[in-house]
Amino acid sequence: MNVGIIQARTGSSRLPGKILMKVAGKTLLEHMIERISNSKKLDKIVIATTTKDTDDVIVSIAKKLGIDYFRGSEDDVLDRYYNASKQYDADVVVRLCSDCPILDGNVIDTVLNEYFIGEYDYVSNLVPLPRTYPDGLSVEVFSSELLAETQFNAKKPSEREHVTFYMWGQPEKYKIHRTEYGTDLSKYRFNIDYHEDFLLLEKIFEHFYPKNKNFLFEDVVKWLEENPQIFKLNNMIEPNLGWVKSLEEDKNQGFSN
The whole-number pLDDT of residue 165 equals: 94
The answer to whether the beta carbons of residues 210 and 167 sit under 8 Å apart is no
**Which pLDDT does position 7 carry in this prediction?**
97
Which pLDDT band, with edges at 50, 70 and 90, does 240 fall under?
low
Q: What is the mean pLDDT of the chain?
A: 93
pLDDT at 237: 87
Q: What is the 3-state secondary structure (H, E, C) of 119-172?
A: CCCEEECCCCCCCCCCECCCCEEEEHHHHHHHHHHCCCHHHHHHCCHHHHCCCC
pLDDT at 209: 98
CA distance 231 to 196: 11
Proportion of the chain above pLDDT 70, given as a percent: 93
How far apart are alpha carbons 38 and 214 in whole angstroms?
8
Single out the residue of 40, 55, 58 nearest to residue 4, CA to CA. Answer: 40
Q: Give the tens place of pLDDT for each residue, 3-48.
A: 999 999 998 777 889 999 999 999 999 999 999 999 999 999 999 9
Its CATH architecture, for the domain 2-252, is: Alpha-Beta Complex (3.90)
Q: What is the pLDDT of residue 16?
A: 87
Give the pLDDT of residue 245: 55
Q: What is the pLDDT of residue 52?
A: 97
Is the distance from CB of 18 to CB of 199 less than 8 angstroms? no
- Segments making up each domain of the chain, as ranges: 2-252
